[in-house]
Amino acid sequence: MTENNCRIICASAGTGKTYRLSVEYLSLILKYYSKNEFSLDNILVLTFTRKATAEIRDRIIKHLELLVSEPETEEEQKKQQELLLNLRKLNKTKEIPLSEQERNLLLSARKELICDQSHLQVMTIDSYTGQIFRNIVRPLKNIEHYEIDTEAVKKIMPFLLDHLMEPDLREKIKNLLSRKVSRSLDEYTKFFCSLIEQRWLFYMITKRQAVHNSSFSGTLMNLNPETEPAEFYEKFLKEMQRIIALVANICSDLGKASLEDYFNKDFRNLAVKGALTPVAIFNNLKQLNSDEAEKLLYILDKGTIWNKQKISNKKFEAENIELENAQNEAKHHLADYLIWKLYLPEQREIEELWSSVLERYDNLIYRYKNLTYDDITWFTFETLFSSEPPFLNPEDAVSATEFYQFLSHRTRFLLIDEFQDTSLIQFNILKPIIEEITAGEGSKPFGGLIVVGDEKQSIFGWRGGERDLLLNLKDIFPALGDLTVEALDKSYRCGPTLMEFINQVFMNAELCSLLQKKEMKWDYTHIESVEITKEPGTEIEFCLKNFSTSVTNADNEKDIYTDFVERMVLPALEKDDSGSIAILCRTNEELTKIQQALDISGRASLFQPNRSIIEHHYVAPLLSWLRFLAWGDWIDFIAFLRSDYVLINTKVLKQTLNIISRTLEIQKERQKPVRPDFSTIPVVNEFYQLSWEQENKKATEICREIIDLCLPSKQLSERDYLNLHRFLDILSTRQLTDPDKGISFPDLLTYLKDNANAEDFKQVSINADDSLQLLTIHKSKGLQFKRVFVFCNLSGKHSTDSNTLNWALEYEGNTFNRIRDYGISLHYQKILKSSSYANLYLQNQKRKQLEELNNLYVAFTRAEQKLHLYFGYKLKEGWNDYYNANKDDNLTVALCNSVFDYFKDSPFNERGVYYKKSFLQENKKETSFSSEPPKSNLEQSNYHLNIRHHRPVNWNKLVPVELPAVKDLKTYYLTERPNLIGDLLHFYMSFIIRNTPKEHNYAYYRCLNRYGAIFTVFQIEQLADRCKKVCDSNPYLFTSGWDKIFTEQEILWGSKIMRIDRLMVNTAEKVVLIADYKSGDIYDFNQLANYKTALSKLPVFKGYNIDTSIVIV
C-alpha cells in the first residue's frame, strides 16, 4: 500500500506559504530519505511564476543550510529552533533537537543538491508541461524544432484570415459577421483570436457533454434551433397588449396629453412611431423584425417603458405594480423568442466555423513552428487524450496507467503552489498523475499531494484560472479519504492594526449577507498578525470622492486622477517617502493617467508597462528617421525633428512646414521630384543633408550616428540607455541572421512592426526597490510594499470587447469533468439575461464579480505598514443612493461601503481623508531632512563666540587636485560594452582545457555563433587572439600535473550558486588551484576567498591544499 501524505493548505495573503512549502519539502526528506526507493527528485514542486520558483528554491536551500549548520548568532539559533518546531509539528514528533541520524540525512541531501541541482525539482507548470511536450508530444507530432512566441496567434492571423476568404468558408462567416456591420474583416481579428484562445471550451462542448436525461430538458444546449418560436412571440404580444391597455386607460382618465407622451422616449421611437391608438401601437409591435425586437428587449431591460412622471407610484401604485409584472413577463417571453431567433442560429454558426478555424490554425503552426505557451499546453493535452484516436483516453484510467506510471515513477510527491490559478486544461494534464501517485497502489510505497492556495486570490480567470478547483478538490478526488484541510491563520506581513482593518472589512456583516443572498461562496476567516515589528508607524487612509458634475464643487472625471495624486499621494510622500512604495490600479490606462498627474506635479515614478521597445521615447524617433530614409515621408521627418533628439520649437516647425508645402506645390507643377531648400533653417538643413549621406549604410550604423550626434549632451536614465542598447542589439541580430532583410529598410521596418509585441521586443525593466512604482493589481500579486496606494474608480467603464467570443458554462456536479449546459455568442450574450436560461448568464456574472472582489483583496493585502485607499464614484444624490443602486450588481461597491462603515466614526484631516494610525509611533533610523536651511552654530547658541582671524591663504603653494573622472554611461553601455566583452572572453576560455589548436578553433566558432549578432567578425577575431596570448603567457594553467580540469564549474555555497571559471585538481599531490578570469574594471576581492571557503567544506577536497590565482584576460 502507498503511504499517502495529502493535504490542502489554505494560505491567506501574507501567511507564509513559501515558508510552509519549504518546510513540507524538508519534512518529506526527513521522513523518506533513508528509504532505498526514495530520491530527492521524487518530489516535484510546481509554481505559476519564475519569481515564485526562485523564491521556493532559495528558501529550501536556506532552510537546509540552517538545519545542518551550527548557529553563530542568537538570532540564527532562534530561527533554527522555530524551523525544527514546525518540522516536528508536521511529522507529529515531540523531540525538538535533530538526532544524529536526521542530521546525517540532511547532510546527505545537501551534498546531493550540491552535486546535482537538477534533483531539486522546482519549476513552473509551463516548464513541466514543456518537458512533456519536448520529450513525448514533439516526436509524436513530428515537430523537429519550434520557437516560443507569445505573439504567435497575432502573427498567424493574416494567413488565417486569407484562408477564411476561401469559397467553402466564406459562406460560413457571411451571416455571422454581417449581423453587426464593420468596415473590414480585420476588425474581427479579436474574435478569431478568442476562438483559438478558448479552444479548451470547444473541446468541452464537443467532447465532454454530460449524458442526457430527463433533467436536461430545460437546458439551452439541447434546444432545436429549427423549431419555430412563434408561441413565445405571441405570449410577448399578449403582455405588451396589457401594458398598452393600462397606459391607454390612464391616459384617457387624465386626458391631459396624447397616448405617446405616456411612454418613454426610447419606446416611442421604436414602437409607437406616432401611433395615436392602442391598436396602432400593437400593430407596430407585431411587425417588428428581429433586430428591432432585440433593441426592444434592451429597452425593456433598461427600465420602465411608461412615463414615470405622468404615471407615478404615488398616484397609481396598483397600476405600477401591474405594469411592472406585465413588463417583466413580456421581457422574459421576448428573450425566449430571441434565443430561438438570434442566439441559437449564431451559436450553431460559431460552432461550425470554430472547427475550421482551429484546424487551419494548427496547420499554420506546423508550417511556421511558432507556438505560444497555451499552444504547448493544448498540444500536450490533445496528444495524450484528445487525438483521433487518442494517445490516451482520459475517461479510461486503465489505458493511461502505463503512461502515467512512467511519468509518476520519478515524481511521487507533488507540491502545487497557487493552486487557485490552475486552468482546467492544466488540471486535466495533472489529474491522472495526481490519481496515480495517491492511488494507494503504486510503483513505490509512498506518495502524496500537497496543495497550497487561496480562492480569495484567484484573479486570473480571464486566462483560464478556475478558483472552484480548489474548493471542490475533495469531490474531484474521492479516493483521498484522508485528505486534510489546514488554514494558515497567522500573518507575517503587517502589524495588528492593519490586519484587523482587513479582517473587519472583509468580514463586514452587510457584505457577508449580500454574498449569502447571491449564493456566492467567499469564505473569509479571521487572520491574526504576529508581526508586531511592523506595527509602529502603521497608518490607514480612506477617501470616498464624488466627482459628479451635478454636485457643487465636485471634480470632473478627468480630474479624479489629479485629485488622487494631490489629495492622497503627494501629502503622504512629502511626510515620508522611505521604503518600497506602490500605486495599484485595475488597468494600465488608469496608471498612465496617474503617471501623467505625477509628472505634472514633478514627482518621479516608475511605470513599467508591458510595452514594446519600439514605443520607447528614444527608440520611436529612430524608427521615424529610418522610415523617412526608406519612404521619404515628410511626416516621419517632422516627427523626428519634434522628438527628444532635436526638439525644434513651434516657430522652426512652422518654417519647415512652409518650405515643405512650397516644395510639394512646385513638384506638382513640374511633375518631377524637387529637393527643398532648408538653408535658412540650419538645424533642419543639417539633418536633411545628412539623410542624403545614408545610402549603403546599415540601420545600426545610421542609428548609432544619430545617437552620437544628438544625445551626448542629454542626461539619459539608466533605463533609457539599456533600451537603446536593446534596440541596437535587435537591429544587429536581424542584419546578421537575415542579411537580405537587414539591408532593405522597408523589410526591416516591416519586421519590426510585425514583431512589435513579441516577448523579445518588450522594454527593458530595472529594479527599483525604493522608487514609487505603478502597477496593475495583477502584476502586484506575490509582492509586498511598505506603503501602498489603491485607486478604484467605481464609475469607471471597464471595457468589454464586443468583438470577442462570449460564453457561459455550467458543469455537471463539482468535478469539472463534463458540462451540463452552455451558451456561446458573438453579438447576443445579453439576451440570456432575461430568458429562461438566465442561470447561465448569472453564473458567469457571479464569477466575474467574485474575481473583482478578489482583486481588491489582493490589493489591500500588499501593504506592510501604510495603506491608502481612494474610491471615486459619480452620482449627484450621494453615496447612499449610489450604494443602494449598485450593490447587487457590483461587489466592489459593497466592499467600498464596508470600508466606509469602518471609518464612519473616525476623524478626517484637512484634506477630507479619513485616517487611522497605530498608537505605536515609528522609530525612524533615517535622518530627516528639512526643506529649510540648517541654522548656523551662532543662531543655535546663546554663548558669545570668539572669532579668530586666520592668516590669508597662499594660493601659489596649493597643489591642484584632479577631479575624479565621471563615467560616460553612453560610451560605457553602447560603445565600450565591457560586460559583453567580458562575457565573450569567459565563454571562449571555457572551452580551453589543454591549450590545443583544436580547442581554440572550436572556441572561436562557438563565439562566432553566439556573439556574431553583436560583434563584427574582426572584433571576435581580435578577442580570440587576446585569449590565445593569455593562454601562452600562463603555461602553469596547462601543465600535465593537473589530471582533472573543470571550467565554469558550479558549486553551492549556503543558498547561493557560485561559478568557478577554471578549477584544476592534482589528485596525486592533493592540490587544487582556482583560476579566476578578470576582464573588466569591477573586482570583487572577496570572491576568490569565498570560492576557497566553499571548496574546503566539500568532503571530496578534505586534506587538499587549495590555492587561488587571478588571470587577467
> Would you list which residues are annotated within the binding site for ATP?
11-18
Count how many Cα atoms sit within 13 Å of the Cα of residue 488 in the half-sphere of its side chain: 24
918's grid cell: 497605530
Which residues on neighbouring strands pair with residue 370, listed in sequence order? 147
Cis status of the peptide bond prior to 739, with omega within 30 of 0:
no
215's grid cell: 433533467
Looking at residue 214, the DSSP 8-state letter turns out to be: G
- Alpha-carbon distance of 1021 to 975, in angstroms, equals 18
Q: Tell me how far apart the 2 most distant CA atoms of the chain are, in Å.
A: 118
Please give, one letter per residue, the 3-state secondary structure of 136-149: HHHHHHCCCCCEEC
| 490-491/528-529 β-pairing | parallel
Nearest alpha carbon to residue 864 among 153, 14, 218:
14
- Alpha-carbon distance of 765 to 149, in angstroms, equals 20
Are 752 and 623 in contact by the 8 Å Cβ rule? The answer is: yes
1052's grid cell: 553551492
Are 832 and 221 in contact by the 8 Å Cβ rule? The answer is: no
472's grid cell: 471542490
Burial class (CB in 10 A: 0-12, 13-18, 19+), 107: middle
Report the b/e string of 924-934 with b at 16+ CB within 10 A.
eeeeeeeeeee
Report the b/e string of 210-236 with b at 16+ CB within 10 A.
beeeeeeeebbbebeeeeebeebbebb
Cell 587538499 identifies what position? 1104
Helix residue ranges per DSSP H, 69-215 = 74-91, 100-115, 125-132, 138-141, 152-164, 167-178, 189-197, 199-207
Are 389 and 151 in contact by the 8 Å Cβ rule? The answer is: no
Question: What radius of gyration, in Å, describes the C-alpha atoms of the chain?
Answer: 35
- Alpha-carbon distance of 501 to 915, in angstroms, equals 12
Looking at residue 587, the DSSP 8-state letter turns out to be: -
Identify residue 895 by its one-letter amino acid code.
L
Q: DSSP string spanning 673-732? A: ------TTSHHHHHHHHHHTT-TT--HHHHHHHHHHHHSTTS---HHHHHHHHHHHHHHH
Handedness of CA 417, 420, 421, 424 (dihedral sign): positive
Residues in the chain: 1113
Handedness of CA 601, 604, 605, 608 (dihedral sign): positive
285's grid cell: 409591435
List residues forming the annotated binding site: 11-18
Rounded to 10 degrees, the C-alpha dihedral 741/743/746/747 comes to 0
Are 530 and 491 in contact by the 8 Å Cβ rule? The answer is: yes
Which residues on neighbouring strands pair with residue 762, listed in sequence order? 612
| 1071-1078/1105-1112 β-pairing | parallel
Residues 6+ away with beta carbon under 8 Å from 550: 876
Helix (H, G, I), strand (E, B) or coil at 552: coil
CB atoms within 10 A of CB 620: 18
Q: DSSP string spanning 843-879? A: HHHHHHHHHHHHHHHHHHTTEEEEEEEEEEE--TT-H
- Alpha-carbon distance of 891 to 849, in angstroms, equals 6
Handedness of CA 812, 813, 815, 816 (dihedral sign): positive
593's grid cell: 493617467
